Amino acid sequence: MKANEKIPEDEMLLAEAIATARSRRLGWCFDYMFEDADGVPVGSCQFVESKIAKCCAYGALVLSNRAPWHHGSRPNSLRHVGTGNDMSSYWSTYTNDFGESLGWAFRCAMEDA
């Protein structure tokens, strides 16, 4: 049996997102996938990884090659990662989880760092 065989996939994604952000010494941001050190968004048309100083949960998954860059190609399980990452108060009205909990957990971990 492998060590991570019984860990749910979303928990592994969360661990990978946090590890990716921390190993690159990135801070946390919201509303954008990436920001530079001055808080200016780094978009896909100007994507230069060396400019990135902060990332959101989904941005960390993009950097770890676990998620596609474009919103339109997000899998359902990650469709609303940004909702959990970006909300300033806890979201509680959802009946299905399409990545909100992963985004929220990433935010909590990165804010505490």
Buried b (16+ CB within 10 A) or exposed e, 10-49: beebbebbbebbeeeebebbeebbbbbeeeeebeeeeeee
- What range defines the domain where residue 37 resides? 9-112
Residue 55 inside a domain? The answer is yes
**Quick check: 30 and 59 in contact, CB under 8 A?**
no
| Residue 31, phi-psi category: left (phi > 0), alpha (psi -120 to 50), beta (remainder) | left
Number of folded domains that form the chain:
1
pTM above 0.85, yes or no: no
Q: What is the pLDDT of residue 75?
A: 74
Residue 71 inside a domain? The answer is yes
Q: Provide the mean pLDDT of the chain.
A: 82
Residue 50 inside a domain? The answer is yes
How many C-beta neighbours within 10 Å does residue 53 have?
Answer: 18
Instruction: Tell me the per-residue pLDDT of 25-54, one tens digit each, with 9 for 90 and over.
Output: 999 999 899 999 999 998 765 567 778 999
Residue 30 inside a domain? The answer is yes
Residue 3 inside a domain? The answer is no
Confidence band, pLDDT 50/70/90 cuts, at residue 107: very high
Residue 61 inside a domain? The answer is yes
Residue 1 inside a domain? The answer is no
